[in-house]
Chain A
Amino acid sequence: MLDINDIGKVFDPITASVEKGQLSRFAKAIGQNNLIYIDNAAARNSGYDDLPVPPTFLFCLKMDVPDPFENYEKLGVCLQKLLHANQSFEYFNAAVAGDVLTFNSVVEDIYAKKGGALEFLIEKTKVVNQRDEHIADLVTTLVIRS
C-alpha cells in the first residue's frame, strides 16, 4: 500500500557520470546504427562536444545506483506488482559523454483507481549538469497492482 502522505517526498539526489562505454553498450543494446551516437568524429561533425546522450538514456543514468528500486520499495511498492505506465521526457539542453548529471526526484502524486486495485505513483525528476544547466525533466508513472 502506498501512503498519500508521501506526496511531496524528495528522494536523495543521484549523481551520474556519462561514460562513453555506457553509451556504446546502450547503442549496441538498442540496435543503434546512426553514427552520431557511436562515432566521436560524427558526433563532433554534428556540433556535439562528445557522443550525445540519446533521448531515453537519461532514464538509465538515473538507475545507475546500487539499488535503483530502493526508493520505491521504501514507499511500499512491491516490485513483482510494478508496471511502468507512462514516461515523459522534456528536453532543455543536450547532454554528452563526460558530463556529470544530477537527478533530483520528488513524489509528485499518489492515487488509487478501481477501488484501490490499482495504485499510481508519479515521480518527477529534474536533471541538471555540472554547470547547473537544466538538461531535462522526466515524469514517470508507475502502476502497482494489488
Chain B
Amino acid sequence: MVNFDDIYVGDFLPVLSTEKISRTTLVLYASASGDYNPIHIDIDFAKNTGMDDVFAHGMLSMAYLGRLLTNWVDQRSIKKVDVRFTAITPLFAQIICTGEVQKKQVVGDQKIIEVLVEAKDSNSGEIKISGIATINLTENRSN
C-alpha cells in the first residue's frame, strides 16, 4: 500500500518493462482497442504514407503507463493523466515505463502527489511519451 506520508519528491515508482512490440502485439491491440487505423497494422498502407513499416499505437504505450500507475496505486486514486506523444514507437521496440514523484502537497484536506511519467525505448532511451499523473492519496486504499 502506498502511503502519502512515506512518499517523497524524487521517489521513483517501480519500473515497468514490457515485451518487445511485435506485429502480433499491434494486431491484438487494434482488435482490443477498436483502433484499426491501418498505419498500425497494414504495411502496404504504411509504405504508401512514406513510412518503412507499421508503427505502434501511441495509446498502446499510454496503456503501459496506465499499468505502471495501477501497479503502484489503486486506480481510484488516479485523478488525472495528461501526456504528450513525442516520438513514434517502431515495431520491435521495447518500452520501459518510469515514474518520478515531482510534487507532494496538501490542498485543503486532500493529499495530492504529481508524478512525471515517461515511456522510453529501452535501447535508445528515446522518450516516446511524457506526462504528468495526478494522484489523490487522501483515502488509504489497499492495492
Contacts and interface: CB of A to CB of B under 8 A. Distances in A.
A67 B9 CA distance: 44
A41 to B, nearest CB: 15
Q: What is the size category of the interface that chain A forms with chain B?
A: 35 or more
A55 B66 contact: yes
A114 B67 CA distance: 36
A87 B70 contact: no
Q: Is the interface of B mostly helix, strand, loop or mixed?
A: helix
B123 interface: no
Interface string A24-51: 0110111110101100000000110000
B69 interface: yes
B71 to A, nearest CB: 6
Interface of A is mostly: mixed
A63 B35 contact: yes
Q: Which of A36, A83, A91 has the most CB of B within 10 A?
A: A91
Nearest to B27: A29
Interface stretch (B75-83, B98-106, B108-116): B75-83
A10 B80 CA distance: 24
B119 to A, nearest CB: 12
B44 to A, nearest CB: 12
A116 interface: no
A18 to B, nearest CB: 13
Contact of A30 (B64, B69, B78, B83): B64
Chain B, interface size: which category? 35 or more
A108 B69 CA distance: 28
A131 to B, nearest CB: 17
Contacts of B48: 80
A88 B83 contact: yes
Nearest to A143: B85
B114 to A, nearest CB: 14
B59 A90 contact: no
B31 interface: yes
B125 interface: no
Contact of A34 (B33, B71, B142): B71
Contacts of B84: 85-86
28 contacts: A25-B31, A29-B32, A31-B64, A31-B67, A34-B70, A37-B70, A46-B142, A46-B143, A54-B66, A55-B63, A56-B59, A56-B62, A56-B63, A56-B66, A57-B33, A60-B32, A60-B59, A63-B35, A64-B34, A79-B37, A80-B48, A84-B58, A84-B59, A86-B83, A86-B84, A87-B62, A87-B82, A94-B75
Given A52-B75, A63-B35, A90-B80, 14 more contacts: A26-B33, A29-B29, A37-B70, A46-B143, A54-B75, A55-B75, A59-B59, A80-B48, A83-B85, A84-B59, A86-B82, A86-B85, A88-B83, A89-B81
